[in-house]
Amino acid sequence: MKEKIKNEMRMKLPSLSVNEWVARSAVAAFCAQLDPSASEIADIKCVVSEAVTNCIVHGYRDTVGIIYIAVALFEGGLVRIEIKDKGVGIADVKQARVPLFTTDPGNERSGMGFTVMESFTDKVRVTSKSDGGTKVVMYKRLFGKNDNS
Amino acid sequence: MLNKKELYQSVREGDDMTVKIIGEIDHHNAVGIRSDIDSEIYACRPKRLIFDLSGVEFMDSSGLGLILGRFTTVKSVGGELIIRNPCKSVMRILKLAGAERILNIEFENGG
């Protein structure tokens, strides 16, 4: 990545479901300095919500752990969002990224989390190992008023 | 009837039950209201369950789970689910899952 970093933030939140709103609101507020369009901010909120929910529901399950969020803003409107947990990890990342696949169907999980992340950002990288936590890194270039989506 | 968490309001009119959800539907809120809504569905057994989403500003895929779960519940009592007035960002989530192919989605006032 050649763009110069303009600003960055880090936050840690306990994996309580009430913090889903906190996380997406905080990241959206931070990204607002790039003057995104309304739909771009909606996308940012959605993908953060998905990734954080995955940490809560799948990463930490019935325990409470820490969710690590790091956001970097680069020249040219590029945003990098990293969301990480130290939970149970994903045994098969490729399978987990298949649309509608879920390990928790009984709790009305739609299995669309990664699909949403992939559709609403430009790039998603997922690294995980069993009992080793999961890290999701997403990139999205914001165009602001020139956004045609 | 106003739900104690003020996340939704439900109104019964004849065979219709309208559930108006207000604010944001995420995993936290969906878990908070789904069994309350199910209890009302089983009590009222509506022919039409109308989910009025005009007041929903944000929904992630947990909202999709909430909707599809209620689709199953109302179907089990012989009713149908109608989604009314979802905003553009909510429609994006529904379309991403192909849910618009199985759900009745209607827009009032040409919205």
Q: Sort out which chain A residues have CB atoms less than 8 A from B66's CB and list them.
A: 108
| Active-site residue identified among A54, A82, A108, A118 | A54
- Across chain B, mean pLDDT equals 91
Residues B41-77 have pLDDT tens digits of: 999 999 999 999 999 999 999 999 999 999 999 999 9
Residues A41-65 have pLDDT tens digits of: 999 999 999 999 999 999 999 899 9
Task: Grade residue B4 by pLDDT with cuts at 50, 70 and 90.
Answer: very low
Q: Sort out which chain B residues have CB atoms less than 8 A from A148's CB and list them.
A: none
Task: Grade residue A148 by pLDDT with cuts at 50, 70 and 90.
Answer: low
Q: Sort out which chain B residues have CB atoms less than 8 A from A113's CB and list them.
A: 61
Note the pLDDT of residue A2: 73
pLDDT at B1 > cutoff 50: no
3-class secondary structure for chain B?
CECCCCCEEEEEECCEEEEEEEEEECHHHHHHHHHHHHHHHHHHCCCEEEEEEEEEEEECHHHHHHHHHHHHHHHHCCCEEEEECCCHHHHHHHHHCCHHHCCEEECHHHC
Q: What mean pLDDT comes out for the span B24-43? A: 94
Q: Quick one: tokens of B42?
A: 């089983």
- Interface-testing mutation among B28, B66, B71, B103, with chain A (most A C-beta atoms within 10 A): B28
Q: Tell me if residue A109 is catalytic.
A: yes
| ipTM of the shown complex | 0.89
> How far, CA to CA in Å, does A94 sit from each of A48, A66, A83, A115, A124?
20, 24, 18, 12, 12
